[in-house]
Structure 1
Amino acid sequence: MSLDFLAGFTIFLLALIMVVSMVPGLLAGLESSGIDYDAVAYRTGVILAEDPGWPVYPPWEMKTDAYKDEIERMGLAVSKETPNILLSTKVNAFFNDSFFAEEDYRSKAIFGDIPYSYNFSLSSGGVLLNQTGDTLPPGYGYIRRVVKIKEPGVAVINDSFASQYTSSSSAQNFTVRLNFSRLLNASIDPAYRIDPRTEPVNVTITDFSEYLNGSCSDATLKDVTFWKMDPTTPMPRFSRIPFSYNTMDPNLYNLSLDGTPTDLAPETKVAENITLVLKPAATSLFTLDQNSILDIRFTFEDTDYPHTNITGIHHYDYNATNVTRPDLKPAVLEVAIW
């Protein structure tokens, strides 16, 4: 009888010990735990300020609504080698809350299982540049990052080039040339690199009267065409890029003559200035690589006689007189999560 009692009591004690050891684990899910919103805000700030996002090329900011699901991460940095230097085209795309929904920001920038609320803002010199998200509540997690914004360069061809780009011959073709092997040279700091794959190419011809022939007050721009060449191939030569030259598409380019928007085959008179902005979405269609040369050709044609003497090749490159590259703009990126 005593042996039975001892065996039963021993089994009871072992069972009791096992139950007691399991109780904390059973109650763990019922314990309250706080969320470190500052940590979530810090992590999000790191992603935005130090990462270029994914995919890198073609970059995520060029994705249309039909391909928005291909965006895995929305980073704003020019590259991984340039933390805290943001690319203006990425910034503009990120703050386009008519394109991105709340769930897009949560899944592609915040990366949390909890449906966090958020507020992202970017300011420079005390002036708010962009903002998206909800109104800030009394308590929230917060991080502030001091950043700089890289703006695209502009090729301004003014009267200082008149003697260089005029000729008495009947040729009326003017070319702006982009040599990708020079532009994408790895020795150039990405923060200052001209990359037509990720930022717009801006060509502006001002003081157009300086290029006119004699007493002419204007000249007819027949068309603007794109040509490419790969110098590494046998017998390299330029070939015209198939493009919808007669279709105005602000997502691909903007062309204006004396301030009036037009397509790339305007056959319209111009007297003062020409502005062409070729956007990365268009450049991506041209299947260019690091060896390519892209020519932008302006062709002028008047029925009676040449109204302009403009000719020559303007190199879109790192020469300070050829392309003006704005200084990096200081700014503050603020991330609030709750």
Structure 2
Amino acid sequence: MIDDTANLSIDFLAGFTIFIIAFIYVATLIPGLFLGLQSNTIDYNAVAYRTGVILVEDPGSPVSWEIPGIYSDYYIQTNSIRFGLALSKDTPNILSVQKVNRFFCSTFVYPQDYRSRAIFGDYPYLFNISLQLSGDNTTKSIGDIRPDGYGYIRRVVQLKGWSNATIGSATINALHLNSTANVTTHVFSIQINSTDLLDNATNPSCNNPLYQINPWEDQIMVNLTDLNTLYYDNSHPPNVTLSRITILKAQQSQSYPSPPLSVLEDFNSGSSLSGVPPFYVYADGNSTHESTLPVNVADNLSLVFTPGFFYQMGNNNLYQLDTTTQLYVNLTFQLDNNDWYLNNTASEPFEYNYNPAYVTQPGLRSGVMEIAVW
């Protein structure tokens, strides 16, 4: 009689092997069966946190995506762009006002433009992103109405504002009133010196993104006031018109008004004040900007150069910044009879710089950004 007590049959070994293989296969599938039962709050909170990091700690890619003259809405919608609202990678939680304005504008399509450039991921998340700034009565928002349950993250941020210059009677009388120019044509020049604003080792403000005046990416605003006090003969004040606006360019080694200064744009009588990026002219407190020259001026004048205007003016290659460029904005005023007026042809141009006596420096505003995802 044959003793087979310690032997296993071939059939048993084959069946046991098949069972183990099947067991392992089923075990690998079990986690996927319970994905729908996992906590949505934890998952959505993680997505909201990741989105918050992208928006408030990253300047985006490219870092100047907010400049409309360089990166149009069509370019952003058809290329790989990442929305980031920070000034730079070295200034987390400090947001650019122009990036914020463009991010919350109505030209991008919700949700696809935002989902692919800020939320990321294959899952079709819905979301609402809002920003409440101190002093504002309204909240900037993009997205759907929040449902009952959603994941969210709140980030405390600061928004860097823009500078502006106000040139009133005291400044004009001290620096820019040519009393010998009793004529009908007067020229006032404003200098935008990019080297002093962006790359001056002796000036700590220009090397700190929080307080830097960046003419390439910031809005530049100049207000001229008290213009009706400049006349020599106040009993018979002349009628004044802004008849010409000329944008000129010089290299850093050149000094004003030594030639050659190349004329980049020349807006004269009949010219339309438009372009990309645009600039706006407001006269005597009117809320509507002027569309053509000449413009009648009685008491005050405001010039608003939108972000990217000087970048486009100062660089032949829009994607390669030339920080040695000096730009000049020459305003030509026409009087209907001889008199004194705003005129610095015999002195120096008004320099838009870090002197707080003439230029209000950029400031920071606190706010809270909330990202809700579901």
TM-score for the superposition, normalised by structure 2: 0.82
Q: Conserved in 2, the CA contact under 8 Å of 1:165 and 1:310?
A: yes
2:66 corresponds to 1:60:
yes
Which residue identity lines up with residue 307 of structure 2 in the other structure?
A: P
Which residue of structure 1 aligns with residue 19 of structure 2?
16
Change (3 A) 1:11 1:231: same
Separation of aligned partners in 2, 1:117 and 1:244? 47
- Within-5 A mapping of 1:292-307: 292-306=325-339
Post-superposition offset of 1:285 = 2.0
Matched, 1:168 2:189: no
Kindly tell me: are residues 71 and 318 of structure 1, through their superposed partners in 2, closer, same or farther at Cα, counting changes over 3 Å? farther
What residue is the counterpart of 1:277 in the other structure?
Answer: 304
Please give the alpha-carbon distance, in whole angstroms, between the structure 1 residues aligned to 2:356 and 2:241.
Answer: 30
Post-superposition shift, 1:236? Answer: 7.0
Residues in 2 aligned to 1:99 and 1:19: alpha-carbon distance in whole angstroms: 51
Aligned twin of 2:221: 202
Q: Secondary structure of 1:73's partner?
A: coil
Secondary structure of the residue aligned to 1:261 is coil
SS in 2 for 1:175: strand
CA distance in 1, matches of 2:225, 2:308: 26
Deviation at 1:160, TM superposition (A): 1.7
Contact 1:211 1:310 in 2 (8 A): no
* Structure-1 residue corresponding to 2:290: 262
Whole-angstrom distance in 2 between the partners of 1:53 and 1:16: 53
Match for residue 246 of structure 2 among 225, 232, 235: 225
Deviation at 1:282, TM superposition (A): 2.2
User: Given the superposition, is the C-alpha separation of residues 193 and 294 from structure 1 closer, same or farther in structure 2, using an over 3 Å criterion?
Assistant: same
How many Å separate the matches in 2 of 1:129 and 1:213?
A: 49
Q: Alpha-carbon deviation of 1:181?
A: 0.7
Q: In structure 2, give the amino acid aligned to 1:124.
A: L
Q: Which moved more, 1:324-333 or 1:179-188?
A: 179-188
Deviation, 1:120, is 1.1
| Distance in 2 of aligned mates of 1:100 and 1:325 | 35
Q: 2:248–2:265: 8 Å Cα contact kept in structure 1? A: no
> For the structure 1 residues 304 and 97, does the alpha-carbon distance in structure 2 shift closer, same or farther, using more than 3 Å as the test?
closer
What residue is the counterpart of 1:239 in the other structure? 262
Query: How far apart are the structure 2 equivalents of 1:5 and 1:39?
Result: 53
Number of residue pairs matched by the alignment:
336
Q: Residue 188 of structure 2 aligns to a residue in which SS? A: strand
Deviation at 1:261, TM superposition (A): 2.4
1:306–1:66: structure 2 CA closer, same or farther, 3 Å change rule? farther
User: 2:238 touches 2:339 (CA, 8 Å); kept in 1?
Assistant: no
In 1, Cα distance between equivalents of 2:67 and 2:371: 20
TM norm structure 1: 0.90
Deviations along 1:152-204, one digit per CA (max 9) or x if unpaired, are: 10011011212221012337211111111111127521011101221111011
SS of structure 1 residue aligned to 2:338: coil
CA contact (8 A) 1:50 1:80 kept: yes
Contact 2:54 2:118 survives alignment (8 Å): yes
CA RMSD of aligned residues (A): 2.6
How far 1:244 sits from its partner (Å)? 6.4
The 3 A distance-change label for structure 1 pair 322 and 73 is same
Amino acid at match of 1:49: V
Verify the 8 A CA contact 2:195 2:252 in the aligned structure 1.
no
Per-residue CA deviation, residues 26-67 of structure 1 (Å, 9 max, x unaligned), is 44433324341111111111111111111123x335232321
Aligned counterpart, 1:115: 124
Offset of residue 229 of structure 1:
1.0
Amino acid at match of 2:215: P
Check 1:31–1:255 CA distance in 2 against 1; reply closer, same or farther (3 A cut).
same
Q: 1:25 aligns with which of 28, 32, 57?
A: 28
2:351 alignment counterpart:
315
Name the CA shift for 1:104/1:115 in 2 (closer, same or farther; >3 Å).
same
Q: State the partner residue of 2:88.
A: 79
Equivalent position to 1:148, from 158, 161, 165 = 158
Measured after TM superposition, the shift of residue 21 of structure 1 is 1.4
Question: d(CA) in 2 for partners of 1:236 and 1:217?
Answer: 32
Classify the secondary structure of the residue corresponding to 1:37: helix
1:177 matched to which residue of 2? Answer: 191
